[in-house]
Chains A and B, each alone.
Chain A
Amino acid sequence: MTKTALLALLIAGSVTLAGSASMAEMVKYKVENDGIKASLTGKAGDVKNGRKVAINRKKGNCLACHASKHIKDQLFHGEIGPELDGASERYSEAELRLRLVNAQMVNEDTMMPAFYKNTGLTRVRKKFIGKTILTAQEIEDVLAFLKTLK
């Protein structure tokens, strides 16, 4: 094998590896009554990790658009969507899960990104093609965290 071919293979390999976490098969889910009842992973969400994912600008970045009185350690909360506090009192767990997975299924015109969707998108930057913003478990983790924001 020539050196260039080997290099190409190596590069291809590392690209696949980098993308593998979210390239993994999409979890199928069922939408009923304006919600998704079952956990996407069958596992409970992790509140601590959910907080991290929600705050992380490269992950949930929820504070770009939402505010919360419970996340005081972060400066500059957004004003686009409603306050996150109390959302779990306004909506059931199933309804919240659908809003995180794909809020556009609830409101077609919403600005809120669909956090668990990887098709039907336009001109996605190359390094994000085929990937969801959050993994299925991260959706469950953020959901668990949301439920603590009273």
Chain B
Amino acid sequence: MTKYKTIKTARSAIALLGMAVFASSATSSAMADKMDDYKVGDIHSGYVYTAPSTRAMQDDDFENPAFLMVEKGEALWSKPGPNGKSCASCHENPEEDMKGVSATYPKYDPKTKKMMTIEQKINREIVEKTGGKKVKWEKGVMPALSVFIGLQSRGMPMNVKIDGEAAPFYEKGKKFYYTRRGQLNIACKHCHEDYAGKHIRADLLSQGMANGFPAYRLKWQKVGSLHRRFRGCNKNIRAEPYKQGAEEYVNLELYVKSRGNGLKMEIPAVRR
């Protein structure tokens, strides 16, 4: 109960902060300062390219529909699994214990000798530590837990490791990024590197950063994973998408996140 209170207080503090920024946004320098928070050198968060009305939804936790998932995740945290243990049994204080965790995934997993996303880690915890069954990525338990855990990294710099054991996976992800695909024969880099900041029909192309995912998309009317976003980008160029959690997407996620290392985490972001 007290936990709820702490989160709610934190949320209203953030909301107040948001209003303060809003109030001063009449002056363009305040606006520029605010945008600086979403940039590191030439690297820009998708927030920079998002419509003001969508940004406003992200800025205010009470307006951000993804916060329903945060609350659900917080409730699930202390719900016992089949073996009687809940996440809270071992991670008593998620605000502290999960701080910065999402910013470091995907991480190398010595067990499978592959990279592992936060969703895959959550599933492993559910199975191995609470005796439960793996859950699907896009509905129910997973978006709730991944957003709740992700929120604990908000404002911290994205920081995935790409050297050592991660290096070969980084190379594979990079190759994916620069490979043309689909009947339209276009690579990620064409849209998000060559033409970021330009309109493709009605869409303003961003740099395709991953620091806000899982995010609430207006088009989806729900929270979705980064891999769901990848699937959409693949299907738009008439390329066969991969399934959520496929090794190809996990490696791509590592590479895409490394491109944005240093950007502040924004989970749960709001996007069109």
By a beta-carbon cutoff of 8 Å, the part of chain A in contact with chain B is 61, 63-65, 75-80, 104, 111, 113-114, 117, 121-126, 128, 131, 133
Residues B202 and A76 in contact, CB atoms below 8 Å apart: yes
Question: Shortest beta-carbon distance, A83 to chain B, in Å?
Answer: 13
Beyond A124-B239, A128-B182, A128-B238, list 15 extra A-B contacts (CB 8 Å): A61-B201, A63-B201, A64-B200, A77-B201, A79-B199, A79-B200, A104-B185, A111-B190, A113-B186, A122-B180, A122-B181, A125-B235, A125-B239, A128-B183, A131-B183
Residues of A contacting B136 with CB < 8 Å?
A: none
Residues of A contacting B180 with CB < 8 Å?
A: 121-122
Given A63-B201, A76-B199, A122-B179, are A114 and B185 neighbors across the interface (CB < 8 Å)?
Answer: yes
Residues of B contacting A122 with CB < 8 Å?
A: 179-182, 185, 239
24 contacting pairs across A/B (C-beta < 8 A): A75-B202, A76-B201, A77-B199, A78-B199, A79-B200, A104-B185, A111-B194, A111-B195, A113-B185, A121-B180, A121-B183, A121-B185, A122-B180, A122-B182, A122-B239, A123-B234, A124-B182, A124-B183, A124-B239, A125-B183, A125-B238, A125-B239, A128-B238, A133-B184
Identify the 9 closest CB pairs spanning chains A and B, nearest first. A76-B202, A111-B190, A79-B198, A128-B183, A113-B184, A79-B199, A64-B201, A122-B181, A123-B240
Given A131-B183, A133-B183, A133-B184, are A124 and B238 neighbors across the interface (CB < 8 Å)?
Answer: yes
**Cα of A43 to Cα of B190 in the assembled complex, Å:** 35
- Near A by CB (< 8 A), chain B positions 231-251 give 234-235, 238-240
Which residue of chain A lies nearest to B202 when distances are taken between CB atoms in the complex? A76
Residues of A contacting B185 with CB < 8 Å?
A: 104, 113-114, 117, 121-122
Interface string of B166-194 (1 = CB under 8 A from A): 00000000000001111111100011001
**Cα of A78 to Cα of B184 in the assembled complex, Å:** 16
Residues of B contacting A76 with CB < 8 Å?
A: 199, 201-202
Which residue of chain A lies nearest to B186 when distances are taken between CB atoms in the complex? A111
Residues A78 and B200 in contact, CB atoms below 8 Å apart: yes
Residues of A contacting B199 with CB < 8 Å?
A: 76-80
Most chain B beta-carbon contacts within 10 A, residue among A61, A79, A123, A128: A123
Residues A78 and B201 in contact, CB atoms below 8 Å apart: yes
**Cα of A117 to Cα of B180 in the assembled complex, Å:** 14
Which residue of chain B lies nearest to A126 when distances are taken between CB atoms in the complex? B240
**Cα of A133 to Cα of B235 in the assembled complex, Å:** 15
**Cα of A65 to Cα of B180 in the assembled complex, Å:** 17
Question: Shortest beta-carbon distance, B183 to chain A, in Å?
Answer: 4
Most chain B beta-carbon contacts within 10 A, residue among A76, A104, A113: A113
Residues of B contacting A77 with CB < 8 Å?
A: 199, 201
Residues of B contacting A128 with CB < 8 Å?
A: 182-183, 238
Which residue of chain B lies nearest to A131 when distances are taken between CB atoms in the complex? B183
Residues of A contacting B194 with CB < 8 Å?
A: 111
Given A122-B239, A125-B235, are A80 and B183 neighbors across the interface (CB < 8 Å)?
Answer: no
